[in-house]
Structures are given as structure tokens and as C-alpha cells.
Amino acid sequence: MEISAQLVKQLRDKTGAGMMECKKALVESGGDLDGAEVILRKTGIASAAKKATRTTKQGVIGSYIHAGAQIGVMIEVNCESDFVARTDDFQGLVHDLAMQVAAADPQFVRREDVSQAALDKERDIARARALTEGKPEKILDKIVEGRLAKYYEEVCLLEQPFIKENTTTIADLIKAKIAKLGENISVARFVRFKVGDTAAAEDRSTAAQG
């Protein structure tokens, strides 16, 4: 059945769960809001949002070297306890996140990390492109915001579709692990190396600094 964006938003506002998780729950409940909330609570997804404010001081630094040894990634993923950091579930998540960085080449962890300079540049490009395409002046702002949302999806790790399941975002993947492991989990930082790509790395560092 067709689930409206408004209904998804209602459930997200009520539970704090991710958009994709909310939509899946609504589909499973046949569009029933209360039933969808029960589904999210049973899977622990609803409570994961509450855990997201808790401090994460433990964790691991994971690494991934792609076949051919031309691309390598190091990533720091944090949780609340050393016990959880040693579990197979957490270690598997770290590995998946490192693979994601290798494959999708994000530049930032989350959209809040995007520098104002990078954002202004992208906004100017989106506006100029819309004008070139002959879009009406009155809807330019809406078009620009839509393209910025797509930009965030491309450059921010948490916004990206998971390479192993593109109907799930990385943010929702992490929330699912939070629900399963019962602790907050956060990505602190990552670095991606590509053989011969030193100039791009320097440009990225400059953009991150704003």
C-alpha cells in the first residue's frame, strides 16, 4: 500500500526512529500509526533514538583495504562500553562502515559537519544550474533545497544509502544496531586513502576547515 510522507513524518516525530524504519513499520501495520509504533517498540528502534544522546567514550578504530590495495580506510566508531565494542555485531558494523567509506567516498560524517564554504558553493551551483535550465524564479529556492538534500546524501556518511542494502541509510543502519546492542553508537571520524589522490585529500581538508 502507498504510505504518505506525512504519515511517515508523524511516526518519526512520535518515536524518533529513522524515515525508512518508520515507512517499513507503517507498511507492515497497514498504515495504522499506533500499530506501527508498537512494531518499532518491539524491535527496539523507537528506544534507539533516546539512547542517541548518551555519551560514547569506548569503541574501536577499524580499517579496510579494498582489493588491489589502491583504496584504504580508517574509521573510529564509538559506543558506551568496552564490552559492546568487542562484540561481533559491533565489529561487523565497523567493518561495514569502513567498506561504505571506501565505496561511496563521503567527505563528512553528518550534514552538520559540512563547512559553510562548501555549502555556499553548492547552493550557488544549484541555483545557477536551475536558472540555466529555465526554472521559474518563484520555485528556485525549493529546487535549490531539493538539490542540497541530494548533495548531503552524496557527501555525508550518515545520509548515504547503505551499499549492501540501498533502501536503508547509514543512519538507520546504526540505529538498528543501537536497538540491538542497547547502547548509543556514533561515528567519530574517518579517513580514506586512494593511491595517487593526494591533491584531492588536500582539497577535502581545506573544504572541511571552511
Report pLDDT for 49: 58
Q: What is the CATH number of the domain that holds 60?
A: 3.30.479.20
Mean pLDDT to the nearest integer, 8-33: 82
Q: Are residues 176 and 106 in the same domain?
A: yes
Confirm if 35 and 29 have CB atoms less than 8 A apart.
yes
Q: Are residues 83 and 63 in the same domain?
A: yes
Render pLDDT for 79-119 as a digit per residue (tens, 0 to 9): 999 999 999 999 999 999 999 999 999 999 998 999 888 88
Q: Are residues 93 and 165 in the same domain?
A: yes
d(CA 186, CA 177): 11
Helix (H, G, I), strand (E, B) or coil at 167: strand
Residues in the chain, how many? Answer: 210
| Beta carbons within 8 Å of 9's beta carbon, 6+ residues apart | none
Q: Are residues 138 and 162 in the same domain?
A: no
Amino acid making up residue 121: K
Helix (H, G, I), strand (E, B) or coil at 64: strand
Q: Is the pLDDT of residue 210 over 50?
A: no
Q: Between 4 and 104, whose confidence is greater?
A: 104
Choice among 56-70, 79-93, 124-138 with the minimum mean pLDDT: 124-138
Q: What are phi and psi of 160, to 5 degrees?
A: -75, 145
d(CA 84, CA 143): 43
Q: Are residues 183 and 90 in the same domain?
A: yes
Q: What is the CATH number of the domain that holds 131?
A: 1.10.286
Q: Are residues 145 and 161 in the same domain?
A: no
Amino acid making up residue 52: A
- Give the confidence band of 208 by pLDDT, cuts at 50, 70, 90: very low
Domain boundary among 150, 168, 200: 150
Cβ neighbours of 122 (radius 10 Å):
19
Report pLDDT for 163: 95
Domain boundary among 11, 35, 51: 51
> What total number of domains does the chain contain?
3
Q: Is the pLDDT of residue 175 over 80?
A: yes
Q: Is the pLDDT of residue 176 over 50?
A: yes
Q: Are residues 129 and 208 in the same domain?
A: no
Q: Are residues 13 and 69 in the same domain?
A: no
Full-model pTM = 0.69
Helix (H, G, I), strand (E, B) or coil at 58: strand
Sheet holding 58-65: strands in order across?
A: 58-65, 71-79, 186-194
C-alpha cell at 78: 564509538
Q: Are residues 160 and 180 in the same domain?
A: yes
Confirm if 180 and 21 have CB atoms less than 8 A apart.
no
Q: What is the CATH number of the domain that holds 37?
A: 1.10.8.10
The range of the structural domain enclosing residue 39 comes to: 1-51
Q: Are residues 86 and 41 in the same domain?
A: no
Q: What percent of the chain has pLDDT over 70?
A: 86
- Give the confidence band of 141 by pLDDT, cuts at 50, 70, 90: confident
Q: Are residues 131 and 59 in the same domain?
A: no
Q: What are phi and psi of 63, to 5 degrees?
A: -140, 155
Q: Are residues 93 and 163 in the same domain?
A: yes
Report pLDDT for 22: 84
Domain boundary among 106, 128, 150: 150
d(CA 155, CA 102): 13
Q: Looking at residue 210, what DSSP letter applies?
A: -
